[in-house]
Amino acid sequence: MHPAFSVIFLTTLIGAGQGLFLALYTGQLYSVFNLVPGQDSHTFYGYGSLLALIFLGMGLFASFFHLGHPERAWRSAAKWRTSWLSREVIVLPSFMAMTFIYGVTHFTGYNPVLFTISDVFVVNLTLLVGFLATGLAFLLFLCTGMIYACIKFLQEWATPLTVINYTLLGLASGFTLATVFASYAGIQLASFYAGWAIIITVIATITRAASLLRNSRIKPKSTMTSAIGIRHTKIQQKSRGFMAGSFNTREYFHNMSATGFKSIKWIFPILTFVLPVIILSSGMASNSFAIYLFAFVVQYAGLIAERWFFFAQANHPQNLYYQTI
Amino acid sequence: MKQLALVIDLNVCVGCHACVTSCKEWNTSGTAGSMSDFNPYEEDPTGNFFNRVQTFEIGTYPNTETVHFPKSCLHCEEPPCVPVCPTGASYKREEDGIVLVDYDKCIGCKYCSWACPYGARELDEEQKVMKKCTLCVDRIYDESLPEAERKPSCVLACPTSARLFGDVKDPDSSISETIRENGGYQLMPEWGTKPANHYLPRRKTKVTIHEDELTRVDNPLNKERQLPMPDDDEQTLDDVMSW
């Protein structure tokens, strides 16, 4: 497939935004159980939610560049019963709204106790809103991943690993971003987040490697024989019917040289997985904001390459009909 | 339940592209139009086409066979492009099974084109909506046309009648009969899309003549001709006359 940068930015930016929110809420949950020191609602959770919203907003903004008619985007909520894209279109703004409420309740300090469970566990408003937003964040990962995983003849995508990788890569970049933010805000949690970012990045390395391994062994179900229905082992296209370009020759081919394609296959795991783990570890040692920021920039650049590769690697069966001029 | 469709006879198609040009002409001037073109007379031209004729070579030289293969939307009975559409712009008509795009609802997200294994959908770069073969829906029901002309324009244009049009769900229709009797098949059956359009395979035309069939056993001349018989290498009427 031809990788569209609008979609690459959409999926990586909202992934980081979702991950950042989940990191914030993880921090709050830990502090509820007194595992980490409680943070100032106003600066940390308030501004943290704002940062998450900025990433989500930028992702949403990027998505409009993918549309031929952005002014009709509201129509895309219509077919949520059948279309994962439609579901994403509903879940993304819902998650953003819930993140906004989460941020505002923290920022204003309006946090009444709603109820207590067995007289020990106190559930206040922010905890409940955050819980709902967490559900929406994971639902959004599911929707985004399923948009690709549900197309069964794009065999490189049609696997649960697609959803798992979207989730884990979003979480990894979000926790790295949370590390940067905590370090910037001068909060003790920086190394806590860095530790989680490393753990999630390592798990994501395994699942992404699994999908690379799986994809390298795929046997295409569609062949020339099934494409034109002629039972012969030797079928060669002599003409695709036109000499000029068309949508079919632009949309489904990545147009990168074999060398370029192979080099990105090696570059993205280094940038997304190897380097961030090393940089985050050294950041934990020195507790330096600049090093954490560098880790996030490297990982985000890696994610852009990862997403590019994700699209480029998918081999659409229609390409069988467009092999030669 | 009705399902209009095309049947394309690969045994008859000569690859003249008449269906391609007549499709473009009808649809760029019809309700599906206009079908935009960019740089039509310059370097790197591009534009929309609903129908293409491709050419494949089967076998190894010198034992090869050339197959011309017309390709357009197959109007699947289980169209994978329809459920993925977030707006409902992509739909399949209940009454005749034609898969269409509502240009007023389409947001141009191209997701349906990803979800079609045949590459039958194209983005119109000018109107920024997805377009595809309509089976000439603006023509086949037009009562101002003579009944014989109420067919897709590619069907009317085909000089060898390689394209047949009708209802594949009606077992008595001529195209259902053709599919049944000539081994009609669907493209990429592995994805369960159940294309409505069918293709008819190449057929070998062979006549086997046995030695004893070369001379006519019940030839009346055996009795009537003058004897003795002329030899086989003697001149015949064909050899001396120039027809």
Kindly report the three-state secondary structure assignment for every residue of A102-166: HHHHHHHCCCCEEEEECCCEEEEHHHHHHHHHHHHHHHHHHHHHHHHHCCCCCCCCCCHHHHHHH
Q: Tell me if A241 and B55 make a contact (CB, 8 A cut-off).
A: yes
For A221, the closest of B44, B56, B190 (CB atoms) is: B190
State the best of A7, A152, A318 to mutate against chain B, taking most chain B CBs within 10 Å.
Answer: A318
Residue B218: predicted pLDDT = 81
Residue B126 is given by DSSP the state T
Greater model confidence, B243 or B113: B113
- The confidence band for A117, taking pLDDT boundaries of 50, 70 and 90, is confident
Residue B223: predicted pLDDT = 76
Residue A36: predicted pLDDT = 82
Residue A123: predicted pLDDT = 87
Residue A236: predicted pLDDT = 95
Mean pLDDT of A303-307: 98
Establish if B89 belongs to a structural domain. yes
Q: Which domain holds residue B58?
A: 4-200
Contacts of A85 in chain B (CB under 8 A): 84, 86, 109, 111
Closest CA to A172 of A274, A315, A287, A54: A274
Closest CA to B164 of B183, B182, B151: B151
Question: Any idea which of A245-254, A310-319, B224-233 has the lowest mean pLDDT?
Answer: B224-233
Q: Tell me if A68 and B69 make a contact (CB, 8 A cut-off).
A: no
Structural domains counted in chain B: 2
- The confidence band for B242, taking pLDDT boundaries of 50, 70 and 90, is low
For A239, the closest of B54, B108, B190 (CB atoms) is: B54
Question: Any idea which of A15-29, A41-55, B32-46, B216-230 has the lowest mean pLDDT?
Answer: B216-230
Residues B143 and B228 in one domain: no
Mean pLDDT of B18-45: 91
Residue A22: predicted pLDDT = 98
Establish if B11 belongs to a structural domain. yes
Residues B52 and B171 in one domain: yes
Q: Tell me if B56 and A1 make a contact (CB, 8 A cut-off).
A: no
Judging by beta carbons within 10 Å of its beta carbon (0-12, 13-18, 19+), is residue A199 exposed, middle or buried? Answer: middle
For B187, the closest of A73, A84, A227 (CB atoms) is: A227
- The confidence band for B185, taking pLDDT boundaries of 50, 70 and 90, is very high
Question: Any idea which of A47-51, A227-231, B188-192, B224-228 has the lowest mean pLDDT?
Answer: B224-228
Q: Tell me if A75 and B190 make a contact (CB, 8 A cut-off).
A: no
State the best of A2, A67, A72 to mutate against chain B, taking most chain B CBs within 10 Å.
Answer: A72
Q: For chains A and B, count residue pairs whose Cβ atoms are closer than 8 Å.
A: 174
Residues B90 and B25 in one domain: yes
Can you say how many angstroms the Cα of residue A264 is from the centroid of all Cα atoms in its chain?
18
For A318, the closest of B60, B67, B117 (CB atoms) is: B117
Closest CA to B122 of B96, B101, B139: B101
Mean pLDDT of B67-86: 97
Q: Tell me if B119 and A252 make a contact (CB, 8 A cut-off).
A: yes
Residue A63: predicted pLDDT = 96
- Residue B203 contacts A, CB cutoff 8 Å: no
Contacts of A246 in chain B (CB under 8 A): 46-49, 122
For A317, the closest of B67, B107, B188 (CB atoms) is: B188
Residues B189 and B236 in one domain: no
Mean pLDDT of B17-25: 96
How many Å apart are CA A46 and CA A129, to the nearest integer?
Answer: 13
Q: Tell me if A228 and B129 make a contact (CB, 8 A cut-off).
A: no
pLDDT at B133 over 80: yes
Q: Tell me if A68 and B55 make a contact (CB, 8 A cut-off).
A: no
Establish if B207 belongs to a structural domain. no
Residues 105-134 of B with CB under 8 A from A: 105-111, 113-119, 121-123, 127-129
Residue A32: predicted pLDDT = 87
Percent of chain A with pLDDT over 90: 87
Residues B95 and B135 in one domain: yes
Residues B99 and B196 in one domain: yes
Average pLDDT taken over every residue of chain B: 92
Domains of chain A, by residue range, sit at 5-220+242-321
Greater model confidence, B208 or B159: B159
- Residue B86 contacts A, CB cutoff 8 Å: yes
- Tell the CATH topology of A5-220+242-321: Formate dehydrogenase/DMSO reductase fold (1.20.1630)
Establish if B206 belongs to a structural domain. no
Q: Tell me if A230 and B109 make a contact (CB, 8 A cut-off).
A: no
**Residues contacting B102, CB < 8 A, separation 6+:** B88, B89, B90, B91
Residues B120 and B68 in one domain: yes
Quote the tokens at residue B7: 């049947």
Contacts of B189 in chain A (CB under 8 A): 226
For residue A31, the distance in angstroms to the closest alpha carbon of chain B comes to 41
Mean pLDDT of A285-313: 96
pLDDT at B129 over 90: yes
Q: Tell me if B191 and A153 make a contact (CB, 8 A cut-off).
A: yes
Mean pLDDT of B208-235: 78
- CA dihedral angle for residue A311, residue A314, residue A319, residue A324, rounded to 10 degrees: 80
Residue B34: predicted pLDDT = 87
Residue A37: predicted pLDDT = 80
Judging by beta carbons within 10 Å of its beta carbon (0-12, 13-18, 19+), is residue B59 exposed, middle or buried? Answer: middle
Closest CA to A234 of B188, B61, B11, B54: B61
The predicted model scores a pTM of 0.91
Report the sign of the C-alpha dihedral through residues A54, A59, A62, A63, in that order: negative
Residues B227 and B154 in one domain: no
- The confidence band for B215, taking pLDDT boundaries of 50, 70 and 90, is confident
- Residue B230 contacts A, CB cutoff 8 Å: no
Contacts of B107 in chain A (CB under 8 A): 67-70, 72-73, 75-76
Establish if B25 belongs to a structural domain. yes
Residues B76 and B118 in one domain: yes
Establish if B110 belongs to a structural domain. yes
Contacts of B109 in chain A (CB under 8 A): 66-68, 76, 85
Residues B30 and B85 in one domain: yes
- The confidence band for B243, taking pLDDT boundaries of 50, 70 and 90, is low
Residue A16: predicted pLDDT = 98
For B56, the closest of A151, A222, A237 (CB atoms) is: A237
Residues B132 and B233 in one domain: no
Residues B144 and B79 in one domain: yes
- Residue B145 contacts A, CB cutoff 8 Å: no
